[in-house]
Structure 1
Amino acid sequence: MNKEVASLHPVQIWENFEKMNEIPRGSKKEERIIAFTKQFGEDLGLETIVDECGNIIIKKPATPGMEDRKGIILQAHIDMVHQKNADTDFNFDTDGIQSYIDGDWVKAKGTTLGADNGIGAATIMGVLASKDLKHGPIEGLFTIDEETGMTGAFGLVEGVLEGDILLNLDTEDEHELCIGCAGGIDTNVNYDYAESAAEGKAYHIQLKGLKGGHSGCEIHLGRGNANKLMNRLLWETREKFGLEIAEIDGGSLRNAIPRESFANVVIDPAKADEFEAYIKQVEADYQAELKVTEPNLVINLEAIATPAKVMDVKAQDALLSAIYSAPNGVIRMSDELEGLVETSTSMARVQVKEGKVVVQSLTRSSVETAKYDVANQLDAAFAITGGNVEHGGAYPGWTPNAHSQILEEMKEIHQEYFKKPATVNAVHAGLECGIIGSHYPNLDMISFGPTIKNPHSPDEMCEIGTVARFWDFLVLTLERVAKK
């Protein structure tokens, strides 16, 4: 635990956050953080429930005199995205996140910070443990596996929660009150390919230095997709240099813009010098194209021992064609909300190794029909490979309610506290509100939080001052929530 971070104001949040970051809590590996959260509730003497999925519900009675207020469910997810820089020695299964203070921000050394959504979960713990806050009935809902399928929200049982209002603490811009989000669907391509014997000079290509980030919140920023850039390079060099692919390893997580891609290739030895010069030119071209959004992009080339096998040329051509033609990035902006991405897709993962291909894309849209249209485009693009294309993990969006009572109350509180109006909008990221609302359709829901930049990447950071103001804003909301 970094004691300097743990002692930041408000300590109710930061101390709990640092305790959480000592515990590995990657998606689908949440056993230890579930046990920690369960013990937290039991140590407070509060009713604590762990459902069949692993979601934890901790119930705290109203403070005296507030029993007639509407019940509030405070909700956050306890899993985090595991991403690290290639040169960072870190084991997410055993090591705790190494946070540190950098000016006005808390960051992590070479890995994701876990502020998404650890700050939200730590905030709920702070409310549950408090002895001096005024509030009506409180339920802390800690969901699992939000980052890789939202299975915790999907598995939430009806009838367990009693509240009238759900405050989701997973929005990442101060002053923003979120009232809607996009839905999503995964497209997974898996198939075997034929191999042939490798002959020629071999190289290891490293394309790295990209910013990456959240494929929902940051898809509109024009950042490079390492998988698409690597494929473009391979496409352009396959005939010119007799290039053959031995391996590709690009991206890592389905919901993160890929920052790095690596490939082992074999070329005609007679063209080695020309190939090396050409890769330098490709690097310069990419740097010129993306000089604003990706100033640290680099392509490194290293000679390696010739591998035993490469992709069969027909399989290679089909894969490169499929990836090149597959959609990626922003597909359409919203006609109703200015500046909001309506539909996008991100090619998150490309792996070619030992006769097997894996390609993963995540499509997001606030329009259900558009979501499935892009999924069909991906299906069509990869038809040329003859591979197995599956769509799964679909989750619904959250339809905005412009007449929400809690929205009106929080807009008023925001104006009084911050002396400026709140920004009310929807986000292109996936939030659990839509799924939870399908189980509890009468909930009045809103999402908000402190400022977190670059989630889902090792550049993730949380702005310290916004956490304190977020806490104050939440405390005022709990005090002033309407009567039943």
Structure 2
Amino acid sequence: MEYKITGYKPEKLFHFFEEVCAVPRGSGNEKGISDFLVKFAKDRGLWVYQDDSYNVIIKKNGSEGAEDKEPVMLQGHIDMVCDKRAGVEHDFGTEGIDLVLKDGVLFANGTTLGADNGVAIALMMMVLDDEDIKHPPVECVFTTEEEVGLNGAQALDKSQITARTMINMDSEEEGVATISCAGGLRVQLTRPVERTTTEGTLVQIKIEGLLGGHSGTDIDKERQNANILMARMIENLMKNTDGKLVAFAGGTKDNAITRECEASLLYADKAEAEKAEKFACALAETFSEEISSFEPDFACEVSIEEGQSAAVLKDEDAKAFISAIRLVPNGVYRRNIKMDGFVVVSSNMGVVRANENELVIVISPRSSVASLQEDTKERLALLAETFGFDIEYSGEYPGWDFKEDSKIREVFKESYRELFGEELKLEALHAGLECGLFSEALPGLDAIAVGPTLYNVHTPDENVPLDSFERFYELLKDVLARLAAA
């Protein structure tokens, strides 16, 4: 293939990343990238394991003199969040990512980049391919469906792993190592509905331009959720005008803060529709005044179409739906003040849909305290009962507790200090990592999560500064060399 990234060393690392980006790999569509990795291993005569979930493990013997050292696991996930800007034509199921390199920073052309966690794939490929680096035996673990509930890591037969040292490469800030993380799950509320077709004037509302972001790492940044704003808009319109709810659609992923939302109401009377249009525009101005300091690109478009036929919701269904959205826990609602306000509990309402026959609300709660996660589940169950929704829990995964004594953490600290003359920062992460699942299954596991700097993951603004990617590989090589010499 023709590579776009040039001038960075080692060149093959960036070529591997481009090859990964060329393979469609949205969550649930990982067979292609999984088979690609199996072929990669077989072409090099390496031990390889692939399971029915398309997880892949590739093992490589230690370099000369380090064959008998304790093995180390390198780990990352092969799926990516697929999101794109409105109006962008891109089929994530069949098309690779169109890369754009600008001033040393790599973006995608109107879509998510998939550096989360494509950087880990390329880094592991580099370690497996490079015969010149010093390293102990390595076990590279590539997992699937991480972005939709850590499903691959849940399903993986972990008896295939002998390592008890783990380097997860799904952290997103150079110079920072993650040493614990929150647990999480997916919660879906559904309510069956029947619709009635009627005619009138349609008022359509679209909210866009919000920053969005990762529901773990960005939940504390006051980024607005388009579903919340739209529900506030619709509730006010339903109270002050005589309209029937037709549509409500916001978000694509439960673990992404919703950037865009569309809704519509049908009015039997044109004058009432015009009243609703003015009311919505005025409320949009209020929203803008409230959030402009941290959401400068917020936009709300309101339009009217006469002579429309639409299937409307019954008033009781619409009221229950909008009320539930308004009251779903969203954002940060518990911090640890002793740890500089570290987020302990949060919830993100990522997807809302008024489908033809059912209403759907999908939520991603997170907590680093198991009892508080149970409290969130109880609150959501009560909300569902109150407004006539069924509730379903899925994809639950454990948190990862801080370990007082960690050899791998000390090796990274020493390496970072000597390479860059600075101290490696340690942090607890509110986002979910697969370290918790592996720690639960592999007694005595010593784990750390690290990686190069990534910006705006889970959004079409996702990008990676290539010099950070380059530096991180130097750090990884040095750490592996220290483990080989220990």
Contact 1:254 1:348 in 2 (8 A): yes
Q: Give 3-state SS (helix, strand or coil) of 2:414's partner.
A: helix
In 2, Cα distance between equivalents of 1:372 and 1:12: 46
1:420 is matched by which residue type in structure 2? E
Match of 1:468 in 2: 470
Match of 1:437 in 2: 439
Q: Equivalent residues in 2 for 1:317-328 (5 A)? A: 317-328=319-330
Q: Deviations over 1:58-101 (max 9, x none)?
A: 11111111124321111011010100111101111111101111
Q: Give 3-state SS (helix, strand or coil) of 1:3's partner.
A: coil
Cα offset, 1:357, TM superposition: 0.7
Q: 1:254 aligned to 2:250?
A: no
Match of 1:210 in 2: 210
Q: Give 3-state SS (helix, strand or coil) of 1:48's partner.
A: strand
Q: 1:276 aligned to 2:277?
A: yes
Match of 1:389 in 2: 391
Contact 1:187 1:392 in 2 (8 A): yes
Cα offset, 1:2, TM superposition: 6.1
Q: 1:302 aligned to 2:308?
A: no
Against the structure 1 CA distance between its residues 200 and 384, is the aligned structure 2 distance closer, same or farther, given a 3 Å change threshold? farther
Q: Give 3-state SS (helix, strand or coil) of 2:4's partner.
A: helix
Match of 1:188 in 2: 188
Match of 1:152 in 2: 152
In 1, Cα distance between equivalents of 2:56 and 2:338: 37
Q: Deviations over 1:260-283 (max 9, x none)?
A: 111121134222333222222222
In 1, Cα distance between equivalents of 2:414 and 2:239: 64
In 1, Cα distance between equivalents of 2:112 and 2:204: 26
Of residues 164-173 and 287-296 in structure 1, the stretch that sits farther from structure 2 once superposed is 287-296
Match of 1:424 in 2: 426
Cα offset, 1:466, TM superposition: 0.7
Cα offset, 1:325, TM superposition: 1.4
Contact 1:156 1:436 in 2 (8 A): no
Match of 1:374 in 2: 376
1:257 is matched by which residue type in structure 2? I
In 1, Cα distance between equivalents of 2:331 and 2:93: 31
Against the structure 1 CA distance between its residues 400 and 336, is the aligned structure 2 distance closer, same or farther, given a 3 Å change threshold? farther
Q: 1:343 aligned to 2:350?
A: no
Against the structure 1 CA distance between its residues 137 and 259, is the aligned structure 2 distance closer, same or farther, given a 3 Å change threshold? same
In 1, Cα distance between equivalents of 2:48 and 2:454: 29
Of residues 20-29 and 45-54 in structure 1, the stretch that sits farther from structure 2 once superposed is 45-54
1:453 is matched by which residue type in structure 2? Y
Against the structure 1 CA distance between its residues 37 and 244, is the aligned structure 2 distance closer, same or farther, given a 3 Å change threshold? same
Match of 1:98 in 2: 98
Contact 2:209 2:297 in 1 (8 A): yes
Q: Equivalent residues in 2 for 1:2-401 (5 A)? A: 3-5=3-5, 8-267=8-267, 268-304=269-305, 306-401=308-403
Contact 2:277 2:304 in 1 (8 A): no
- Number of residue pairs matched by the alignment: 484
Contact 2:149 2:185 in 1 (8 A): no
TM-score by length of 2: 0.96
In 1, Cα distance between equivalents of 2:359 and 2:6: 44
2:452 is matched by which residue type in structure 1? P
In 2, Cα distance between equivalents of 1:432 and 1:50: 18
2:416 is matched by which residue type in structure 1? H
Contact 1:203 1:301 in 2 (8 A): yes
Q: Give 3-state SS (helix, strand or coil) of 1:449's partner.
A: coil
Cα offset, 1:472, TM superposition: 0.5
TM-score by length of 1: 0.97
In 2, Cα distance between equivalents of 1:95 and 1:428: 32
1:366 is matched by which residue type in structure 2? S
1:285 is matched by which residue type in structure 2? T
Contact 2:203 2:277 in 1 (8 A): no
Contact 1:157 1:439 in 2 (8 A): no
In 1, Cα distance between equivalents of 2:4 and 2:30: 26
1:408 is matched by which residue type in structure 2? E
Q: Give 3-state SS (helix, strand or coil) of 1:36's partner.
A: helix
Cα offset, 1:355, TM superposition: 2.7
Cα offset, 1:175, TM superposition: 0.5
Cα offset, 1:253, TM superposition: 0.6
2:35 is matched by which residue type in structure 1? A
In 1, Cα distance between equivalents of 2:357 and 2:50: 42
In 2, Cα distance between equivalents of 1:365 and 1:483: 39
Contact 1:246 1:307 in 2 (8 A): no
Against the structure 1 CA distance between its residues 286 and 86, is the aligned structure 2 distance closer, same or farther, given a 3 Å change threshold? same
Cα offset, 1:482, TM superposition: 6.5
Q: Give 3-state SS (helix, strand or coil) of 1:238's partner.
A: helix
Of residues 277-286 and 80-89 in structure 1, the stretch that sits farther from structure 2 once superposed is 277-286
Cα offset, 1:191, TM superposition: 2.0
Q: Deviations over 1:207-241 (max 9, x none)?
A: 11111110001000000101111000000111212
Q: Give 3-state SS (helix, strand or coil) of 1:159's partner.
A: helix
Contact 1:82 1:111 in 2 (8 A): yes
CA RMSD of aligned residues (A): 1.5
In 1, Cα distance between equivalents of 2:343 and 2:445: 26
Q: Deviations over 1:114-168 (max 9, x none)?
A: 0000001110000100011011111111111111121111112132112231100
Contact 1:70 1:483 in 2 (8 A): no
2:48 is matched by which residue type in structure 1? T
1:477 is matched by which residue type in structure 2? V
Contact 2:136 2:484 in 1 (8 A): no
Cα offset, 1:306, TM superposition: 2.2
Of residues 461-470 and 7-16 in structure 1, the stretch that sits farther from structure 2 once superposed is 7-16
Cα offset, 1:21, TM superposition: 0.9
Of residues 453-462 and 66-75 in structure 1, the stretch that sits farther from structure 2 once superposed is 66-75
In 1, Cα distance between equivalents of 2:338 and 2:451: 24
Against the structure 1 CA distance between its residues 410 and 179, is the aligned structure 2 distance closer, same or farther, given a 3 Å change threshold? same
In 2, Cα distance between equivalents of 1:105 and 1:375: 40
